[in-house]
């Protein structure tokens, strides 16, 4: 099968879409399919070399740059569109989405849209500007798609509430088990960052942006120190700044007099990231809205219990007792974090092992790729598209 993924950009600092495309695309390539990824990118965007087995094509971005417009990508895709059995387009608002959908439609090539969490919460798409865009361009792009590819039941429900009653397939993202089979010692993180020694570590590892809920987590940290008495707690905030939001977070830290209780290691990758996951006593993702939350899966694969919110699709944390799934509110976060930090080490370790087992059994890139391949086959063969594709 010849498959093309079209993305607005190719730089992992932009978050999940690139990670998903690299991993599912690479797995499909390993299964014997021809997979290419088409995206925009410029020097300074942090382009990463790719060794996943996919054919990566990156084109220069032109004005308006925040629309990720690339006439070169459009011309090249138009030339090669007939060589593909199917294309999957990531995003909603970007020029790459409009262009790829239009080219595929005119060539009678089926396309799948991956909305990347846009419809998980109304505030993501109900601004006047976005409603106008949907009316003029987006609605047709979406409704002409063979199906929507979403990462969770929560995201599927959001698409339906937004008025898109078309075929939807739910395929959660995953992890590569090989990466997490042999984990580094927590001591490696302490050697890299001595500030972690003799502290109870709460790890946040994600893009530093408004929707991630750090404005809830920071006052919850204040409560943790004041009422919980956990003066040895340290909140580690790792990840890239998004649109200058880091400055607002630092102002908030000063307001709550928390500077000495928070540490910013910056972007972390590879073994350093794994060591941080292992050193953390608990991982926190206090997001207002997530279509999946790949960092939750990574933390669980590292045997670290997780505290996250009902804005994410991770109810299973409470079902198997691998963490806490609470309302995105200051008090609930503080209570959940306090509970985990005060647990005996052996109880917390047992929670971590249950989470690790869940992810290794259910949430891997291989499972996701096989499910997606099944959906692609159904589309090409004109069969009904399963909402929850199974594996045989």
We report the CATH number of the domain holding residue 305 as 3.40.50.2000
Q: Please, which pLDDT band fits residue 46 given cuts at 50, 70 and 90?
A: very low
| pLDDT on residue 121 | 86
pLDDT higher than threshold 60 for residue 10: yes
Q: Residue 389: inside a domain, yes or no?
A: no
pLDDT higher than threshold 80 for residue 171: yes
| pLDDT on residue 390 | 84
| pLDDT on residue 16 | 72
| pLDDT on residue 391 | 64
Query: What's the predicted TM-score (pTM) here?
Result: 0.91
Average pLDDT score over residue span 74-83:
98
Structure tokens at 85: 């059995």
Q: Residue 386: inside a domain, yes or no?
A: no
Structure tokens at 250: 């630092």
- Same-domain status, 38 and 62: yes
Q: Residue 385: inside a domain, yes or no?
A: no
Q: Give the chain's domain count.
A: 2
| pLDDT on residue 51 | 61
**Do the beta carbons of residue 303 and residue 352 sit within 8 Å?**
yes
**Do the beta carbons of residue 267 and residue 239 sit within 8 Å?**
yes
pLDDT higher than threshold 70 for residue 306: yes
Q: Please, which pLDDT band fits residue 99 given cuts at 50, 70 and 90?
A: very high
Which residues form the domain of 221? 177-362
- Same-domain status, 144 and 289: no
- Same-domain status, 72 and 187: no
Tens of pLDDT, residue by residue over 347-391, are 999 999 999 999 999 999 999 999 999 999 999 999 999 999 986
- Same-domain status, 196 and 156: no
Nearest-5° angle of CA 37, CA 42, CA 47?
Answer: 60
Q: Residue 327: inside a domain, yes or no?
A: yes
| pLDDT on residue 42 | 73
- Same-domain status, 263 and 157: no
Average pLDDT score over residue span 23-40:
96
Average pLDDT score over residue span 339-353:
97
| pLDDT on residue 49 | 47
Residue that has been written with the tokens 């204040």 in this structure = 222
Residue 220, judged by CB atoms within 10 A of its CB (0-12, 13-18, 19+), counts as buried
Looking at 2-6, 10-14, 144-148, 172-176, which range is the least confident one?
10-14
Average pLDDT, the chain: 94
Q: Which of 58, 112, 117 is nearest to 289 (CA)?
A: 117
Tens of pLDDT, residue by residue over 192-247, are 999 999 999 999 999 999 999 999 999 999 999 998 779 999 999 999 999 999 99
| pLDDT on residue 189 | 98
- Same-domain status, 185 and 160: no
> 287 vs 149, 210, 254, 256, 264, CA distance in Å?
22, 9, 22, 20, 18
Structure tokens at 176: 């590569």
Q: Residue 218: inside a domain, yes or no?
A: yes
Q: Please, which pLDDT band fits residue 127 given cuts at 50, 70 and 90?
A: very high
Q: Please, which pLDDT band fits residue 50 given cuts at 50, 70 and 90?
A: low
Q: Residue 209: inside a domain, yes or no?
A: yes
Q: Residue 392: inside a domain, yes or no?
A: no
- Same-domain status, 242 and 104: no
Distance CA 344, CA 279 (A): 16
Q: Residue 195: inside a domain, yes or no?
A: yes
């Amino acid at each position: 099968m010849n498959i093309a993924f079209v993305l607005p950009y190719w730089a992992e600092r932009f978050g999940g879409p690139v990670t998903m495309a690299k991993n599912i695309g690479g797995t499909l390539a390993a299964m014997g399919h021809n997979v290419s990824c088409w995206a925009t990118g410029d020097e300074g965007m942090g382009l990463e070399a790719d060794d996943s087995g996919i054919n990566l094509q990156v084109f220069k971005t032109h004005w308006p740059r925040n629309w990720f417009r690339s006439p070169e990508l459009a011309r090249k895709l138009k030339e090669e569109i007939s060589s593909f059995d199917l294309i999957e387009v990531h995003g909603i608002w970007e020029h790459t989405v409009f262009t790829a959908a239009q080219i595929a439609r005119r060539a009678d090539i089926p396309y799948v849209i991956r909305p990347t969490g846009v419809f998980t919460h109304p505030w993501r798409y109900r601004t006047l500007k976005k409603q106008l865009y949907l009316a003029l361009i987006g609605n047709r792009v979406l409704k002409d798609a063979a199906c929507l590819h979403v990462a969770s039941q929560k995201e599927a429900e959001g698409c339906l509430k937004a008025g898109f009653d078309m075929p939807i397939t739910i395929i959660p993202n995953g992890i590569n088990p090989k990466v997490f089979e042999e984990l580094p010692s927590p001591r490696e993180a302490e050697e890299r960052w001595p500030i972690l020694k003799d502290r109870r570590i709460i790890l946040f590892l994600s893009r530093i942006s408004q929707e991630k809920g750090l404005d809830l987590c920071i006052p919850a940290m204040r409560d943790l120190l004041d009422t919980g008495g956990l003066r040895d707690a340290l909140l580690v905030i790792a990840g890239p700044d998004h649109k200058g939001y880091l400055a607002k977070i630092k102002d908030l830290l000063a307001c709550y007099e928390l500077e000495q209780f928070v540490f910013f290691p910056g972007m972390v990758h590879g073994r350093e990231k794994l060591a941080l996951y292992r050193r953390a006593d608990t991982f926190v993702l206090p997001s207002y809205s997530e279509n999946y939350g790949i960092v939750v899966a990574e933390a669980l694969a590292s045997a670290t219990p997780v505290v996250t919110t009902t804005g994410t699709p991770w109810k299973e944390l409470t079902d198997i007792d691998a963490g806490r799934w609470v309302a995105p509110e200051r008090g609930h976060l503080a209570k959940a974090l306090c509970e985990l930090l005060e647990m005996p080490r052996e109880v917390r370790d047992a929670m971590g092992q249950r989470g690790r087992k869940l992810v290794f059994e259910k949430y891997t890139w291989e499972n996701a790729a096989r499910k997606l391949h099944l959906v692609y086959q159904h589309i090409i063969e004109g069969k009904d598209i399963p909402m929850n594709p199974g594996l045989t």
